[in-house]
Amino acid sequence: MSLDLAVLVSGSGSNLQAILDAIEHHRLDARVRLVVSNVAGVKALERAARAGVPSVVVSHKDFPSRAAFDAHLVEVVRPAVANGYVVLAGFMRILTATFLDAFPRRVLNIHPSLLPAFPGVDAQKQALDYGVRVTGCSVHLVDAGTDTGPILAQAAVPILDGDTRDTLAARILAQEHAILPAVLQWISEGRLTLVDGKPRFSGVVPALGLAPLER
Ligand code: GRF
């Protein structure tokens, strides 16, 4: 069944683009019903406009508290995705229970590390500073913690000598753009269940990791 999506962004929106491209090329059976940015003027909003997707800016700065911002976000997002999923694609705000309880187990995030390593901001720099030789990205369900919810898929990338934050971020992004649409497609195929709170995908799931994920 085609999946209704709301995508929340704060910046470049390359993951939003990966979703839009996957839909256009029939690798993802979904519709992006709404893009919400908490920052005006970002490239993600241009990408939405180019794809003909409605978008709205809801600045957290216009609200007196996190709860008030989250409550307003619910009002904006719920009509767009009554039964669909909310994707945090580079959305740089922590969402509270006010928002999460409105979409139980239906909020996904993409994070640029192999969680539970390096949660929070600038995961790529955290990995470089620590000196790990392998890092990657994770798609997970969002819970009340910071990057702590059940992990749906991960892909690994090597850290190479001479890497900078930007070269590493680009290598990770290429994998983000593969696994995020892939996970959404498995969900749209009705293959996700939670067993004792742990995600399980029925059927064949391609090996995740360094290999391309195209099916
Ligand atoms: C990605 O690295 C994502 O994992 C992180 O923020 C970045 C967003 O990139 N949460 P983009 O806006 O999708 O290009």
pLDDT digits (tens, 9 = 90+) for 46-69: 999 999 999 999 999 999 999 999
pLDDT of residue 215: 34
Cα(91) to centroid(ligand 1), Å: 8
- Distance, in Å, from the CA atom of 199 to the CA atom of 210, rounded to the nearest integer, reads 21
Which residues approach ligand 1 with their CB closer than 6 A? 9, 11-15, 44, 89-90, 110-112, 173, 176
For the stretch 67-84, pLDDT in tens is 999 999 999 999 999 889
Which residue minimizes the CA distance to atom 8 of ligand 1?
Answer: 90
Ligand 1, atom 9, residue with closest C-alpha: 90
Are the CB atoms for 193 and 167 separated by under 8 Å?
no
Question: Exposure string (b/e) for 148-161, b if CB count within 10 Å is 16 or more?
Answer: ebebbbbbebebee
Q: Going by CA atoms, what residue is nearest to atom 12 of ligand 1?
A: 13
Please, which residues have CB within 8 angstroms of residue 52's CB and are 6 or more apart in sequence?
none
Residue with CA nearest ligand 1 atom 14: 14
Catalytic: which of 25, 26, 72, 111?
111
Q: What is the pLDDT of residue 203?
A: 79
CA of 191 to the centre of ligand 1 (A): 25
72 is catalytic: no
Ranges in the chain, pLDDT < 70 = 205-215
Residue 154 alpha carbon to ligand 1 centre in Å: 15
Task: Tell me, in angstroms, the distance from the centre of ligand 1 to residue 90's CA.
Answer: 4
Atom of ligand 1 nearest to the CA of 11: 12
Q: Quote the Cα angle for 185-191-197, to 5°.
A: 115
For residue 59, give every residue at least 6 positions away whose Cβ sits within 8 Å of its Cβ, in sequence order, or none.
38, 39, 40
